[in-house]
């Protein structure tokens, strides 16, 4: 009886060939999402510049807001600017000038120049007497507490206005007596009486001249 021998040589070679074919071959793949180093640095620079500009803009806005707030507080509550209503304070102050006055000073001294309101009308005048003083105005002189008032820089005569203020007049603690520098035909304490401190808007601290060019 003869034995049949089966040869598997060819079959083994085919299987080995198939296995080699099925092996995954390595591939050179590049990540499509990978950003080149140069582009990354450029983007960082642009972002840094943009952030710097935003911060500078914010700083500018904050400084502008602070400036506006300071100016508002200064001119609304501390400093005032106005033009004289007329030439009653000439030649020292003309109607074309601008007056800067200090709002917080409501206790004037003699010879201060005040901005104040009487009967809804704004006036500018010089203080000649303050609270507690006694004033007497005659055709020849002005008397404060019994002493003749010397006014070497006033170039106009001073007369009492008949029918308005009765002299002598003693001022209350919260009152002052004011006269304009141009005394003829002008309105001041000879006309409307003493000025109360509550009517004072401020004391003039400087005069700005305005001229025609």
Residue 22 lies in a domain: no
Q: What is the pLDDT of residues 31-67, one digit of tens each?
A: 555 556 666 877 877 788 888 888 888 889 999 999 9
> Is 128 within a domain?
yes
Domain assignment present for 168: yes
Domain ranges, residue 182: 105-201
pLDDT tier, 23 (very low <50, low <70, confident <90, very high otherwise): low
Please give the pLDDT value at position 147.
95
- The answer as to whether 140 is a domain residue is yes
Rounded CA-CA distance 204/123 in Å is: 12
**pLDDT tens track for 58-113:** 889 999 999 999 888 888 889 999 999 999 999 899 999 999 999 998 889 999 99
SS3 label, residue 135: strand
In-domain check, residue 185: yes
Q: Residue 203: which of 119, 111, 137, 140 has the closest Cα? A: 111
Q: Looking at residue 145, which CATH number applies to its domain? A: 2.10.109.10
Question: What's the structural domain count of the chain?
Answer: 1
Res 149: pLDDT: 93
Q: C-alpha dihedral over 69, 71, 77, 79, to 10 degrees?
A: 170
pTM for this prediction: 0.69
Average model confidence (pLDDT) across the chain: 84
Q: Which two tokens stand for residue 191?
A: 């006309």
pLDDT score for 18: 47
Flag whether 2 is in a domain.
no
Question: Is residue 11 situated within a structural domain?
Answer: no
Residue 34 lies in a domain: no
CA distance 189 to 195: 7
Report residue 199 as tokens: 């009517």
Extract the runs of DSSP E, i.e. beta strands, from the chain. 79-82, 98-102, 113-118, 121-129, 134-137, 142-144, 147-148, 169-170, 175-179, 195-196, 200-208
């Amino acid at each position: 009886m003869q034995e049949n021998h089966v040869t598997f040589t060819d079959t083994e070679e085919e299987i080995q060939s198939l296995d080699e074919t099925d092996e995954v071959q390595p591939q050179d793949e590049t990540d499509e999402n990978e950003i080149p180093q140069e582009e990354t640095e450029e983007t960082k620079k642009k972002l840094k510049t943009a952030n710097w500009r935003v911060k500078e803009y914010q700083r500018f806005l904050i400084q502008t807001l602070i400036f506006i707030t300071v100016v508002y507080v200064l001119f609304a509550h501390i400093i005032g600017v106005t033009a004289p209503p007329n030439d009653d304070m000439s030649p020292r102050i003309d109607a074309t000038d601008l007056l800067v006055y200090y709002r917080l000073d409501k206790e004037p001294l003699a010879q201060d120049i005040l901005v104040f309101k009487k009967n809804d009308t704004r006036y500018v005048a010089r203080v000649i007497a303050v609270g507690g003083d006694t004033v007497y105005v005659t055709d020849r002189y002005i008397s404060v507490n019994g002493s003749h008032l010397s006014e070497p820089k006033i170039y106009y005569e001073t007369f009492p206005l008949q029918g308005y203020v009765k002299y002598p007049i003693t001022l209350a603690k919260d009152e002052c007596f004011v006269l304009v520098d141009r005394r003829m035909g002008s309105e001041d304490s000879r006309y409307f009486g003493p000025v109360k401190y509550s009517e004072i808007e401020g004391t003039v601290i400087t005069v700005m001249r305005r001229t025609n060019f």
